[in-house]
A and B are shown apart, each in its own frame.
Chain A
Amino acid sequence: AQTVTQSQPEMSVQEAETVTLSCTYDTSESDYYLFWYKQPPSRQMILVIRQEAYKQQNATENRFSVNFQKAAKSFSLKISDSQLGDAAMYFCAYLGSSNTGKLIFGQGTTLQVKP
């Protein structure tokens, strides 16, 4: 069975600085998708970024980028120029090729942004 692990329960960053959130996963599949979701205090789940496993190029979305290391099964999220609005819980999620759409989430990392 696939698993997703986020080993950092909490992280903090100074406003305007860069922070990296870690995520590792375990799978025997070769074709899958990885996501980062943001959950602010409102608890709404918001998609941040998406990566297809077959793509070697790391996904980028404005200030958010990933470092996808397929062999190491690692998928970290880098937030550049951190803003106060980035403070939230961040979840890494795995979507396999089971044809059912089941997302498997990590435990989450709470990001605090200090002014």
Chain B
Amino acid sequence: EPEVTQTPSHQVTQMGQEVILRCVPISNHLYFYWYRQILGQKVEFLVSFYNNEISEKSEIFDDQFSVERPDGSNFTLKIRSTKLEDSAMYFCASSLYLAWEQFFGPGTRLTVL
């Protein structure tokens, strides 16, 4: 069964450093998303992406964040200068249609020291 994959599973970085979180969505899916979950809290929407453009971004997704689909398979989230409060689990998701279930990857746990 096709699945969304994410690498790395755990990333530790120093405050102020840049990180890139990588995702490989399900191959025939057209819509891509990033969510984050601070430990013990609810899952929060960051950004949605379709046709090589951001469809919507949340207030969390400020200028420090960017997304890219550099080739036909990868979907990346970059945080330019990490802050302590960026420590969270980051989930990538994809869907075939807009009003359809989103399939989530296993997540990347980001720890900012």
Contact = CB atoms under 8 A, between A and B. Distances in A.
B89 interface: yes
B101 interface: yes
Contacts of B101: 35, 47, 50
Interface string B41-64: 111110010100001101000000
Contacts of B75: none
Interface in B85-106: 89, 91, 93, 95, 98-99, 101-104, 106
A112 to B, nearest CB: 16
Contacts, number: 61
Interface in A39-55: 42-47, 50
A97 B50 CA distance: 16
Interface in A75-115: 91, 93, 95, 97-108
A100 B56 contact: yes
B88 to A, nearest CB: 11
Nearest to A50: B101
Interface residues of A, number: 25
B42 A95 contact: no
A104 B45 contact: yes
A33 interface: yes
Interface of B: 31, 33, 35, 37, 41-45, 48, 50, 55-56, 58, 89, 91, 93, 95, 98-99, 101-104, 106-107
The 4 residue pairs across chains A and B that have the minimum distance between CB atoms: A100-B56, A45-B104, A100-B55, A105-B43
